[in-house]
Amino acid sequence: MPAAVSRWPRPETVDRVAAAVLAAIALAQVLVFLPIAPPLAGALIALGSTAPIAWRRSQPVAAALVGSAVWLVPADGFVLVGYIAAFLLFFAVTAHVPDPHLAAAVVLIGTVFSIIGTAEQPAHAGDFVGAVVGVLAPAAVGVLARRQRRRQRRLEELAAHLEQERDRRERAAVADERARIARELHDLVAHAISVIALQADAAEAALERDPALARRPLSTIRGSAGQALTEMRRLLGVLRADESDAALEPLPGLARLPALLDRARDGGQAVDLAVDGAPVTLPPSLDLSAYRIVQEALTNAVKHAPGAAVRIGLRWRPDALEIAVHDQGPGAHGTPSPDAHGLVGMRERVRIHGGALTTGNSADGGFEVHARLPIEAT
């Protein structure tokens, strides 16, 4: 599209071509086909009424005054293209002159010149009406065009402002979700470190009595340290937020998924869960993210497709956990809105674990969320 637009000539070039064409037609009329004055006067009228079109955008006041002043030259008729020239000149006055009082003054002067020029010739009452309308009509159209441009400019500014506001809210939603994830990861890491500290005390006590007994707490320390290191790596990529609202209850995982589905069923939502493959023990942060993804997708379905059947599928693969949530609602409820941060949260959780998320309308008209969370990468 931009390449096609660039091939169009500039408006100033169009004006110059129009002025040249109209000037040629006017000169042919007054000098050859239908003279309205002696050759010199006829040429002055023809060129004076058409040539100013060439600068009607850059100097609209001067162009209109020059183009209408030639109407005062005595003649026995009119230039046939005079109405076209007058329309272009006085349209430009009201459309492009910033000062409305100056534009009105130029239109008034043009109207007076038009009336005087008509009075110098044998004319009827209808000729005077035509002379006045020939100036006022294009001026009125120019006013409408100017207002339309101003309205369009305001709409573009409003659209730009709304776009900026939408981007700001999206960034805020992402920041809020990252802060929430960071708090949860922080709690997981804190728990792992607490386990390390307790097991270290146990190992120290066991070493004094029976060194063989110290192997079990040391093994636990090794596993907890590896887990804490993994969670810390994720935590470093997420900004911490205020912890004043951190939940005191244990963080949920897939083990609490049945309770979540029961609450949805109690609210009138038909929910079905299908599990494919053998479940494995997930790292706490991945277990939490899997639960949150199902929770957000289910909340989205309840909000946008209340009462519709929802199918949740968990497919356990050797290298990944695949989550699919499908509802039989009207679809298209993934459209961004100022308060719909569910999809944003799911994308952030999947991104942190190096997975993939797809959302959109399904073939049967419902809406589907599919997430793939790598297991080996954790």
pLDDT in tens, 200-244: 766 666 666 766 666 666 666 666 666 666 666 655 555 444 444
* Reported pTM: 0.48
Q: What is the CATH number of the domain that holds 362?
A: 3.30.565.10
Domain presence at residue 218:
no
For 377, which DSSP code?
Answer: T
Residue 199 parent element (H or E): helix 125-209
Task: Find out whether 286 and 271 touch, Cβ atoms under 8 Å.
Answer: no
Single residue among 123, 144, 173 that ends a domain in this structure: 123
Domain presence at residue 265:
yes
Domain presence at residue 324:
yes
CA distance 134 to 118: 12
Position 159 scores a pLDDT of 84
Domain presence at residue 139:
no
pLDDT tens figures, 311-326: 999 999 999 999 999 9
Single residue among 97, 123, 149 that ends a domain in this structure: 123
Please give the mean pLDDT across all residues of the chain.
80
Considering its fold, how many domains does the chain have in total? Answer: 2
Residue 101 parent element (H or E): helix 100-119
pLDDT class of 20 with cuts at 50, 70, 90: very high
Residue 141: both structure tokens together? 């159209």
Domain span at 18: 2-123
Position 224 scores a pLDDT of 64
Domain presence at residue 162:
no
pLDDT higher than threshold 60 for residue 337:
no
Closest CA to 325 of 304, 366, 288, 294: 294
For the beta carbon of residue 223, count every other beta carbon within 10 angstroms: 13
Q: Which one is predicted more confidently, 246 or 282?
A: 282
pLDDT higher than threshold 60 for residue 259:
yes
Position 107 scores a pLDDT of 94
Domain presence at residue 140:
no
Closest CA to 360 of 283, 276, 300, 303: 300
Domain presence at residue 298:
yes
Single residue among 80, 97, 123 that ends a domain in this structure: 123
CA distance 158 to 164: 10
Domain presence at residue 229:
no
